[in-house]
Structure 1
């Protein structure tokens, strides 16, 4: 596989066409929308149940170890995505994208709604482990199919929209989770059944991008280009820390500045989500500047915003910092995804996407732990966020100089490589 050609040098048909090279079928907005909706499902595990955590703590207070087990109801799916997504990517490359996606959507609903009838806290946590596994499969399949169906400017558009819809979905699910939780702690789990509404449309309108190889040929999948993929994966791990830092911690920062009204916290969180969406929407038009320019920009904005939050003397200044960081994060995620997967051949794309998803979600899972570890010596949460911001600025500068000088820059890894037929 050759990664030496830049995206600008790729043939126009490779950059702009959306016709599958084997089947000749053209993916359109219907397929794109279905895959974007599917990409929102893993967000449920992160935010839907956060508003009911205090209630769950009270319900299971008498259960030994509940102090550790109750938070796992929210965090364990992200850890499972981080651990399982690379394996899901290997399955995707061997057995096909569509088959795994349909099965995962069904199992997701079964396991996601399991707490409706489970009374055991360990049993609920175990069901959440299963939810995380299905989320890994769904996210990997949806992202891989977006990369399969679309190339060039259309791929940039959908990668940006994926960040937009998941960011807005996170805000919506947080509000919905709180509203449903007012009717009982089990009620929010009904929302996991929504995946069943996607099963039939996915079965009818999503197709496997190419004929599967025979069993003998499947064992001969081309190896992952680790040398080209290693740096994107490492930066994506840090990107996961950056992206989820304010999603997780912004309410606590506002509380430290004296904000106690839930409506105010919700409004500020919504403003940050909107900034993320705007950054992701813009990616479609700025993607031509490629990762070697966009990564330093996105990480630089994220770092500046967190430093502003650190030193913010008032709520309006903290909001400005949060908006700047969120805008940078909106650019960051689609840039990282494009950098990581667009240089992969078809037979490598599932595994590459799975690895990227795993590294990103491990960053999400580790985010509160890293900030807690920083908070102890630095003395406050804003200082911990500021330290993360400084690290982001340092990485931005290193990437700006290192990638510009390297012959293996993101530009050289950004050309879509036609799959061998």
Structure 2
């Protein structure tokens, strides 16, 4: 199937392949964060387990561990054998492993089911990312990269908000939400096909001019590291927020569901604007603006003491994350040669979940030692450093461009 250039988001909505890929994208937020509002209830339900405190907190990022391990290998398989079957298998496994927490008897087996869920996410995200590169080029690819972040956030808004209500009834009930993925299977089955690997890509000369093997590898490695750190910062929200609210004396499931819902709504809205913002201020400006918003949000969490301020902080963090996230996909697909898009998608997917898995491992000891406010100060400082670095990089690139124009005039 030939690559299609679709310059406007309104036209993307007319392409059923794009709709199917956006449906698949919405599952990735559900995978980890859906059970966040249920964490305190699960900790009480399994209080007899001596490792309950740590195991419960690891249930949210547990899929990330499997993704981090399997996604690069999944990417190699996708390059060799195609994406369609991988995407379909991932969605089916997602439903089975996601709903297993309804019935499993203890925390270790629930944790194991979450690891299996991570394998499903690795299949889905790797295939989906590679297919974006296969089907779309140029502005169409950038627009769809922004829309997939929007799909994740709006999907998260619905799923996590529902989870907040469900968790107030029973801490196991949020696991039923994973069954929603079954409704996406018919469209994915119908419209997703593997593009021909022998037909020349008519858009390649315009969109796939990637650096040489060593050059693209170095640039891609730096991008992967930055994405891992970004997700480590962001995932403080779903892994620690419910416990922060509980420590502050508020109804944790409802507050967590509301705050994460606001975070997703804000992120979904700003992700829709990604294409326009990126064209206006460039990648350096997008990173500076996004990391600046995340830094401001975490400062507000640390300093404020009212639910309204905490909700504003969640909105700022969600907006900042939504602005920086699409750039990782568009830049990576631009760096990677066509024959390595599956591998690039797998490694990029792994970096997201490595950051997510490391987040509670680093943040929980910080909370135990210094408290939530200090944790938020640290994450804010890290995001602020990244924003300043992006500003400096953008200024350096503009200076070089100006210098080049002056030299041309002379």
Q: TM-score range by the shorter chain?
A: 0.7 to 0.9
- Residues 1:56 and 1:212: Cα distance change in structure 2 (over 3 Å): farther
**Structure 2 CA distance for aligned equivalents of residues 402 and 185 of structure 1:** 46
1:85 to 46, 49, 71: 71
2:237 to 246, 250, 270: 246
- Residues 1:284 and 1:316: Cα distance change in structure 2 (over 3 Å): same
1:66 Cα deviation from its structure 2 partner: 4.3
**Structure 2 CA distance for aligned equivalents of residues 84 and 156 of structure 1:** 26
Q: Write the deviation string for residues 110-136 of structure 1: whole angstroms up to 9, x where unpaired.
A: 333334454354333322211111111
In structure 2, the residue matched to 1:323 is: 315
Q: Is the 8 A contact 1:85 1:358 kept in 2?
A: yes
Q: Write the deviation string for residues 347-383 of structure 1: whole angstroms up to 9, x where unpaired.
A: 1111111111111111122222322344455x32122
**Structure 2 CA distance for aligned equivalents of residues 62 and 277 of structure 1:** 39
1:73 Cα deviation from its structure 2 partner: 3.3
In structure 2, the residue matched to 1:290 is: 282
In structure 1, the residue matched to 2:205 is: none
Q: Is the 8 A contact 1:177 1:188 kept in 2?
A: yes
In structure 1, the residue matched to 2:111 is: 125
In structure 2, the residue matched to 1:275 is: 266
Superposition TM-score, scaled by structure 1 size:
0.79
**Structure 2 CA distance for aligned equivalents of residues 102 and 344 of structure 1:** 25
**Structure 2 CA distance for aligned equivalents of residues 332 and 320 of structure 1:** 19
In structure 2, the residue matched to 1:415 is: none
RMSD between superposed Cα atoms in Å:
3.2
**Structure 2 CA distance for aligned equivalents of residues 48 and 81 of structure 1:** 17
1:165 Cα deviation from its structure 2 partner: 1.8
1:161 to 147, 161, 164: 147
In structure 2, the residue matched to 1:3 is: none
In structure 2, the residue matched to 1:73 is: 59
**Structure 1 CA distance for aligned equivalents of residues 107 and 307 of structure 2:** 38
**Structure 1 CA distance for aligned equivalents of residues 112 and 265 of structure 2:** 34
- Residues 1:197 and 1:111: Cα distance change in structure 2 (over 3 Å): same
In structure 2, the residue matched to 1:9 is: none
1:384 Cα deviation from its structure 2 partner: 1.5
Paired residues in the alignment total: 380
In structure 1, the residue matched to 2:95 is: 109
1:319 Cα deviation from its structure 2 partner: 3.8
**Structure 2 CA distance for aligned equivalents of residues 117 and 260 of structure 1:** 26
Structure 2 unaligned segments of length 5 or more: list them: 200-211, 401-410
Q: Is the 8 A contact 1:308 1:321 kept in 2?
A: yes
In structure 2, the residue matched to 1:208 is: 194
- Residues 1:54 and 1:299: Cα distance change in structure 2 (over 3 Å): closer
Q: Is the 8 A contact 1:291 1:339 kept in 2?
A: no
Determine whether 1:393 maps to 2:362.
no
- Residues 1:287 and 1:114: Cα distance change in structure 2 (over 3 Å): same
In structure 2, the residue matched to 1:139 is: 125
1:326-341 equivalent positions in 2, closer than 5 A: 326-341=318-333
- Residues 1:39 and 1:261: Cα distance change in structure 2 (over 3 Å): closer
Q: Is the 8 A contact 1:167 1:277 kept in 2?
A: yes
In structure 1, the residue matched to 2:403 is: none
- Secondary structure of 1:342's aligned partner: helix
Q: Is the 8 A contact 2:270 2:319 kept in 1?
A: yes
Deviates more, 1:143-152 or 1:48-57: 48-57
- Residues 1:52 and 1:304: Cα distance change in structure 2 (over 3 Å): closer
In structure 2, the residue matched to 1:191 is: 177
1:17 Cα deviation from its structure 2 partner: 4.9
The structure with the largest helix share of the pair is 2
